[in-house]
A and B are shown apart, each in its own frame.
Chain A
Amino acid sequence: MELRGYRLPMASSLLVWFALWEVIGRLELVSLIPPFTEVLRAFAEVVPTEDFVEAATITLQAFLIGMALSFAVGIGLGIAMGRNRAIGSLMGMWVNIFESSPLTAVVPALMALLGFGLPTMIVTVFVFSVWVIALDTQVGVERVNPSLIEMGRSFGASRRVLFTRIVLLAALPELLAGIRLGLIRGMKGVVIGQLLIAVVGVGYLFELYSRNFLMPEFWALLIVLFTFAFLASEAVAYFERKVSFYASSR
């Protein structure tokens, strides 16, 4: 949008929403919504507390380990599916099913199998994120321009060289999209997992704040999570935009 000839950045509208939030909070229309400034105050108070640091640590730990597993397995599986049609049809069905399923339903089973600790959270992150990474990697590998491969072959490239210098690089746009979507889903996974477990990490904090009706603290925590998720996905999106010219040159 433009205002007196200036192009307003898209995200600037969030300020309008925060202002609206402040007004609604001040008017005390909804007991659940404290003024935005209250939330910011709570944010400053909550972040240094031991509870928060502990929750953040365990959440981050589960998220990072789960994502690392997802990257390794998802990218590997996606490449195998894209390169080998037999593996593609053997695994494709499962990957598609799990990619579009409400995997939230699996979390209680994981709790029954693995308990209420870190392993359940890690596996939740993994199960939420791995499929979309595998699927996008497969698409990327399959979409590599066949004449790029012929080009490599015509100059005598071996299969390994072909793969590392052409296929992997050419699949980068889809690979990055998969990683971004995987990060988003992994983040949702860790939060949903902890909400269901309810005794660890941010799930515990949410439970604590809502039970004691600490609304500013609740929203502050929510904003921390939203910001983290948004920044993580934007960071990948930045690299995605850098390679977006690939698409036009295929």
Chain B
Amino acid sequence: MTNRTSPTSEPTVPGGVRNPGDPAVRVVDLAKVFAGGVRALDGVTFDIPRGELTSIIGPSGCGKTTTLKIIAGLLDATSGQVEINGTPVTRPGPDRAFVFQDFALMPWATVLRNAAFGLELRGVPRKEREATAREYVAKVGLSRFEDAYPHQLSGGMRQRVGLARALAVDAEILLMDEPFASVDEQIRRKFQEDLLRLLSEEDKTVIFVTHSIEEAVYVSDQIVIMTRGPSQVSKVVRPGVDHSGGSGHIRRSPAYLDWVERIWAELQGYLET
């Protein structure tokens, strides 16, 4: 998947001199204590390379989603920081777009308006934002459903709307919080492939939280394995599964299966039974 990165075509971000080799996101010694004294994160540090897809995986309660929300600027860290292109994160910004586990679609709005909502909040004029949204709704394969309402769609289709909304704002970094957790298995596989295809056309840095080892190995360039009690990064690995042979081929390839087993072995010790 690294082949979709073409450093020369990257847009320059105002105010920052960037080296293509620099990580897009640095997470530095992040700690989070929730009200009531629950320690959700305890010294989490890792880098997210530009233009790649990085998964964060770990047992439930290890702080994956908390980390992602701090990167998004939706939560404040208790200590430590997140840097995006060298600038510390203090709040949500136009350089990041979030895809929610429960889709977070507005039930009162059509697919098109939902997909355009990020642009609407940024004050993009109606015609322009609807044109952009229409384009991305088509890209995620929902052209026929532009005027449908979320409750008329299946879970998988709803998440496609969530993805279209995130892509439409053209943010450099895509944050995905267990995007396929509420989608059934068959749809999920199709969706994973569609996601990879879409991302190969869009030059994005993706951070992808999941609890599925198979999913992480299948989609990722890099995997951050987190553990619980204390919540820390246990390992960062780069499986580098070759995607040239199609999904059936990959899922049977020894390299893929080997990585799944290795990560399973890594996580096994932290599971509750």
Contact = CB atoms under 8 A, between A and B. Distances in A.
A161 B121 CA distance: 8
A154 B92 contact: yes
Contact of A147 (B93, B101, B151): B101
A243 interface: yes
Given A147-B100, A156-B121, A169-B108, 7 more contacts: A145-B102, A145-B104, A151-B98, A152-B121, A154-B72, A154-B74, A243-B108
Residue from B93, B98, B121 with most neighbouring chain A CB atoms (10 Å): B121
A150 B75 CA distance: 10
Interface of A: 145, 147-148, 150-157, 161, 165-166, 169-170, 172, 243, 245-246, 248-250
Contacts of B263: none
In the A-B complex, the 5 residue pairs with the smallest Cβ-Cβ separation, listed nearest first, are: A151-B104, A249-B107, A147-B104, A154-B98, A155-B118
A248 B155 CA distance: 12
Contacts, number: 61
B33 interface: no
B145 interface: no
Contacts of A169: 106, 108
Contacts of B107: 170, 245-246, 249-250
Contacts of A161: 121
A166 B118 CA distance: 13
Interface in B27-72: 69, 72
Contacts of A246: 107-108
Contacts of B149: 245
Nearest to B149: A245
B140 interface: no
A170 to B, nearest CB: 7
Contacts of A243: 108
A166 B92 contact: no
B180 interface: no
Nearest to B117: A155
Given A245-B149, A248-B151, A249-B151, A155 B121 contact: yes
Interface in B104-136: 104-108, 117-118, 121-122
B159 to A, nearest CB: 13
Contacts of B73: 154
Given A147-B100, A155-B118, A249 B92 contact: no
Interface string B71-87: 01110000000000000
A148 B117 contact: no
B23 interface: no
B228 interface: no
Nearest to A172: B108
B157 interface: no
